A and B are shown apart, each in its own frame.
Chain A
Amino acid sequence: MVGVRAGKAHRDERIALVVLMSCSGIFVVAIALILGFLAFNGTELFWGDRYSLFSFLFSSDWDALNGHFGAAAFIAGSLVATGLAILIGGPLGVAIGVFFSELAPKRVASAFKPAIELLVGIPSVVYGWLGLTLLVPAIATTFHLPDGDSLLAAGIVLSIMILPTVISLSEDALRVVPVSLREGSAALGATRWETITRVLLPSASSGLAVAVILGVARAIGETLAVQLVLGNAAIFPTSLLQPAAALTSEIVMDMGDAPDGSGFKHALFSMALLLLLIAMGLILLIRFALRRRT
C-alpha cells in the first residue's frame, strides 16, 4: 500500500518539476524573442533601407514622410525630460527615504506609506491627464506662455512618478546600514543630521545609486504621461518651456499612422530598439555595480 502511494507521489513530483521548469523557461524564451524581434525590426532601417545610423542618432532632421529620420530631437527630449525628473525626484526621493528610515515614528510612517503605495498604483495615463489639466495651465500662466506643454511639465510629472521607487529603495538602502554606526557617530557628539550626511548616506551610497538608476530607467520608458504634456514638436529642444518630443511619445503617436514596410515604421522600431537597449543597459549596469561591491 505504501509503495503504491509513494509511487504516485513520486510520479506527481516528476510531473510537477517538468511543469514548473517549463513555466520558468517561458521567461527565457520571452526575452529572447523580444530581443530578436526588436533587433530585427529595429535594424531594418539601417540594413534594408540603408539609412545612416549616424544620421539617425545625431541629426534632428525629422521629416518622416520625406525619408528624413534624424531622431536626435527625440533622443534629446527623452534625455532632458528624464534628467529633469531625476534632478527633482532623485534628491527628493532620497530625502523622503531618509525620513522614513531615520525620522518617522512608527505611527507616522504607517500613515504616510499607504499614500506612497497609492501613488505607485496611479496609471500613467491618469498622471498624464492630471499633468495636462493641472500642471500645464499652471506653467502657462506662471511663465506667460501660450501653451504650457513643455519639457518642464514632463520633467515634473516624471519626477512624481519615479518618487515611490526612489523612496522605497533609498529607505531599504539606509535600513541596511548597521545601528552600531549610528550609535558610534552619536557617541562622538554628532547631531542626527550630521550622522545622516557624514555616515549613513556615504555608507548606503551603492544602494542609493541603484535607487536613482532605477528611477532613470522608469522615467525613460514612460510613455503616456510624457506624451500628454510634452506637446510633440519634433524639434531639437532649446528651452525647458517649449513643446518638445521624446522617443516614447513619438512612437505611441505615430505608430498607427506609419505605413507598413515604410522607412517611417522602421525608424519608429529603431527608436523602440534604442529605448530597449537603454533600459536594459541601465539595469545591467546596476547588476554589475552591485556584484562588484559585494
Chain B
Amino acid sequence: MMIESQSVAAPSIADKMKIEDLDIYYGSFRAMKKANLDVPDRHVMALIGPSGCGKSTFLRALNRMHDLTPGARVEGKVTLDGVDIYAPTIDPVTVRHRIGMVFQRPNPFPKSIFENVVYGPKIHGETNGARLQAIAEKSLRAAALWDEVKDRLNRSALDLSGGQQQRLCIARVLAVEPEVILMDEPASALDPIATSKIEDLIGELKKDYTVIIVTHSMQQAARISDFTSFFLLGELIEVGTTSDIFTKPRDKRTEDYITGRYG
C-alpha cells in the first residue's frame, strides 16, 4: 500500500492494480501528472476531488478508454495482476473484458433488457441460448434488478427508470465477468432512493470484485469506500484508508477540501 505511516492496511490484502507514474495528455495539455496508486483487491477505492481535478480522466486510463479519444496520450504503467495493460502486446479489447466500466449517465442500448445484458457474452463468443439465459439471470440478480424485470426481459431497456437503467448497465458489466469494476459517478444522475440502492449494491459487489469509484460526494465516499484517493488539479495528492483521509488527512490541501473550503 502507498500509505507511509499511520494506519496499516491488513497485510493479507494483495494489490489488484498498480498505477505507476501515470501521465495523461490531451494534445499538449497535461491532464494527469505522475500519478502513483496501488489498488487493493476486492475493496472499494473512492477517487474524490473538486470538479476538473482529473479523477475521471484518471479512471478512464485504467481500462484504456483514452485509446478511443484522438489526441489523448497515456504514459506510464498500469498493471493488472502484474501485467502492464498498456504493453504493446496487449489488446485493449481484452483489457476491457477484465476491467469493466459504468458511466455517469446510464447508457443502455436501444435493445431489449435481455439483449443489453447478454451483449458482452455474445461478443465474446457465447451462443448457447440456455447459457445466455443463465448469465442474464445471474447478472441481473447480482445487480439487484432481477425481481423488477424478470417478467419483461424482452421489453425495451429504454422503458426503465433512470435508476433501473443504471442497475441494468451494472448487470451488463457483470455479465462479462470482469475482475475490476470502474464507476464514474454512477449515481450522480439518479434520485436519492435510486442512489442508495446503487450504494447498497456496491457494498455487495466488493465481495467479489475490485471497485474503483469516482464520486463528487464526500459523504458517498465516506459511506461506501474502504480506501480513498484525493485528486487536485491533475495530481494525486493523498491516498489512505477512508477513515484516515476523512479524520486525519496528512496534506493541507486534502484537509481544505474535506472541510469544504472549496468545492
Contacts and interface: CB of A to CB of B under 8 A. Distances in A.
Direct contact of A and B (CB under 8 A): yes
Interface of A: 105, 178, 180-191, 194, 198-199, 202-203
Interface residues of B, number: 25
A180 B103 contact: yes
Interface in B98-129: 100-101, 103, 105, 107-111, 119-120, 123-124
29 contacts: A105-B70, A180-B107, A182-B68, A183-B65, A183-B103, A183-B107, A184-B107, A184-B169, A184-B172, A185-B119, A187-B65, A187-B100, A187-B103, A187-B173, A188-B96, A188-B119, A188-B120, A188-B172, A188-B176, A189-B120, A189-B176, A190-B119, A190-B120, A190-B123, A191-B93, A198-B119, A198-B123, A202-B110, A203-B109
B109 A185 contact: yes
A180 B120 contact: no
Contacts of A185: 109, 119
A184 B103 contact: yes
B210 interface: no
A203 B101 contact: no
A188 B119 CA distance: 8
A180 B105 CA distance: 8
B63 interface: yes
Interface of B: 63, 65, 68, 70, 93-94, 96-97, 100-101, 103, 105, 107-111, 119-120, 123-124, 169, 172-173, 176
Contacts of B108: 184
Q: Kindly name the residue among B68, B94, B124, B173 whose own CB sees the greatest number of chain A CB atoms within 10 A.
A: B68
Contacts of A194: 123
B94 A189 contact: yes
A198 B123 CA distance: 9
A86 to B, nearest CB: 25
Contacts of B107: 178, 180-181, 183-184
Given A190-B123, A202-B110, 19 more contacts: A181-B109, A183-B68, A184-B103, A184-B107, A184-B108, A184-B172, A186-B96, A187-B63, A187-B100, A187-B101, A187-B173, A188-B100, A188-B173, A189-B94, A189-B123, A189-B176, A190-B93, A198-B123, A199-B109
A180 B103 CA distance: 8
A186 B97 CA distance: 10
A190 B173 CA distance: 12
A202 B111 contact: yes
Decide if the interface of chain A is mainly helix, strand, loop or mixed.
helix
Which 9 pairs across A and B sit closest by C-beta, in order of nearness?
A: A180-B107, A187-B101, A189-B97, A189-B96, A184-B107, A188-B120, A190-B123, A203-B110, A189-B93
A189 B101 CA distance: 10
B223 to A, nearest CB: 25
A189 B108 CA distance: 15
Nearest to B119: A188
Given A181-B107, A194-B123, A199-B109, A186 B176 contact: no
A273 B19 CA distance: 71
B209 to A, nearest CB: 15
Contacts of A182: 68
B96 A187 contact: yes
A211 B70 CA distance: 29
A26 to B, nearest CB: 41
Nearest to B70: A105
Contacts of A187: 63, 65, 96, 100-101, 103, 173
Contacts of A186: 65, 68, 96
Nearest to B98: A189
B82 to A, nearest CB: 21
A187 B178 CA distance: 11
B199 to A, nearest CB: 21
B248 to A, nearest CB: 36
B123 A188 contact: yes
A157 B130 CA distance: 49
